[in-house]
Amino acid sequence: MIYSLCFVLIAIGLYGVVVKKNIVKIVISLAIMEYGVNLFLILLGYRFKGEPPIMDQAADASLFVANAVDPLPQALVLTSIVISLGVLALMVALCIRLYERYGTFDITEMRRLKG
Amino acid sequence: MSELLIILLLLMIVGALVAIETSNLLSSIISVGAVGFLLSIVFLFLGAPDIAITQIVVEILVLVVLIRATISRDLTTITGDRELFGMIVTVAAVLAVAVLSVHMFEQFPPFGVAVMDRVAGAPSTTYLEQGLAKTGAANIVTAILLDFRGYDTLGEATILFCSILGALTILRRKARKKQAEADKESESA
């Protein structure tokens, strides 16, 4: 159920990318897709009543291994979130350049891009 | 627990739909900000406080960048979608992928069972068992990020700097003017 809702989020992003005409909306749709994928990876590592993978001084080591959620997807999603920020900054820079050149965000007006 | 997650996810889906379908660009950006903050709340409930903090910081930066890019520019409505045939084809393709992936959902582990419990000798278990002794970091996520998989973080930093360098190169003006002047000089000479 939760996985399918997560997939719905990704599908909404995909729909926005392929259907919308406004280039900023396409960038926003890509961000939504990223949210969906990151959430999916974190969901894969979750276990019921899981604790954050941060050790307590008083905690028992074997109990910690049995209770903590999977730390590996979290570390990799952390990387992915930061990279998505860089990619988004690059896309927005391209949008600003295109706006200065064509005076609009509408991709159907950018005729010279057509191959 | 999972009911709460479902409610939050439904709110995120509503926010995403509003962000994509609303006509005003500024409200669309604010809706995507709402989706991002809801996502960070979901991360908190999923036992990932590090990700939640990072998500909040990145979300604020994303909002600032997007609003800076669109404010005082074209906020007028761009109505209509792309040409009808392409839209129908793409929507059909999205639906087909959705139908196909319903079968894929059965392959997933049930929600609430971590992947590392299903795979014998998963690296995550090793990290959890020996993380403190090997790296001295109480936070295992940090131990993985900066120690066990330090090269991944190095690659991440490289990508981040490359993308910011690319954005600056796209946005700069001064050097382009100098280039134009140099072209003129070479023409006159």
Q: Which two tokens stand for residue A7?
A: 């997939």
Confidence check: pLDDT of B114 > 60: yes
Res A22: pLDDT: 84
Residue A68 phi/psi, 5° resolution?
Answer: -70, 150
CATH of domain A2-113: 1.10.287.3510
Interface contact A101, partner B, CB < 8 A = no
Predicted local distance difference test score (pLDDT) of residue B135: 82
Q: Which of A74, A79, A80, A81 is nearest to A52 (CA)?
A: A74
**Which has the higher per-residue pLDDT, B75 or A18?**
A18
A114 versus B161: the higher-pLDDT residue is B161
CB burial class (10 A; 0-12, 13-18, 19+) of residue B80?
exposed
**Which of A25, A48, A87, A104 best tests the B interface by mutation, with the highest count of B CBs <10 A?**
A25
Q: What is the pLDDT of residue B82?
A: 61
Confidence tier at A47 by pLDDT (50, 70, 90) = confident
pLDDT band at B81 (very low <50, low <70, confident <90, very high): low
Buried/exposed code over A75-89 (b: 16+ C-beta within 10 A; e: otherwise) = bbbbbbbbbbbbbbb
Q: Do A68 and B128 touch (CB under 8 A)?
A: yes
Q: What is the pLDDT of residue A35?
A: 92
Residue B113 binned pLDDT confidence (cut-offs 50, 70, 90): confident
Tracing tokens 């005729």 back to the chain, one arrives at A111
> Per-residue pLDDT averaged across B75-84, rounded?
62
Question: Per-residue pLDDT for A114 more than 60?
Answer: no
Task: Sketch the domain layout of chain B as residue ranges.
Answer: 1-74, 147-189
Written in H, E and C, the secondary structure of B91-134 is: HHHHHHHHHHHHHHHCCCCCCCCCHHHHCCCCHHHHHHHHHHHH
Beta carbons of B123 and A72 less than 8 Å apart: yes
Give B185's pLDDT tier (boundaries 50, 70, 90): low
**ipTM of the shown complex:** 0.88
CB contact under 8 Å between B140 and A47, yes or no, is no
Q: Which of residues 39-98 of A touch B (CB under 8 A)?
A: 39, 42-48, 50-56, 61, 64-65, 68-79, 81-90, 92-97
Helices (H), A20-70: 23-44, 61-67
Q: Using 50, 70 and 90 to split pLDDT, how confident is the model at B93?
A: confident
- B117 pLDDT exceeds 90? no
pLDDT 10s digits, B21-78: 888 888 899 999 999 999 999 999 888 888 999 999 999 999 998 888 887 766 566 6
Name the strand (E) or helix (H) holding A88.
helix A71-102
pLDDT digits (tens, 9 = 90+) for B153-169: 999 999 999 998 998 88
A92 alpha carbon, distance to own chain's centre:
16
Cα–Cα distance for residue pair A73/A108, rounded to 1 Å = 39
